[in-house]
Amino acid sequence: MDLSPKELDVLALVALGYSDQEIGNKLKIQYGTVRTHVQRMVLKLNARNRGHAVLAYIMRNPKWVTEFNKKYKRFI
């Protein structure tokens, strides 16, 4: 399963170490919505937790790492 654009945004911020509250603030979405996105991406990626979801996504889409700085540098 592919991740939605918003799930990818959440995944990127998880990879940067942000908490769910911080992710919500940065993306201007509710805390509960962030939790839903995290839960869905963990399920879609068959991961054990949010950190494993980041690794699982990178393993499936290594090109994402090279695009990461361009797309998400505003959050760094």
| Per-residue pLDDT reduced to its tens digit, 25-63 | 999 999 999 999 999 999 999 999 999 999 999 999 999
pLDDT at 69: 82
* Structural tokens at position 25: 């603030």
pLDDT at 74: 83
Give me the DSSP letters along 36-74: HHHHHHHHHTT-SSHHHHHHHHHHH-THHHHHHHHHHGG
> Would the pTM count as exceeding 0.95?
no
Range of the domain at 54: 5-75
CATH code (residue 63):
1.10.10.10
Amino acid, res. 13: L
User: 20 falls in which pLDDT band (50, 70, 90)?
Assistant: very high
Q: What is the number of structural domains in the chain?
A: 1
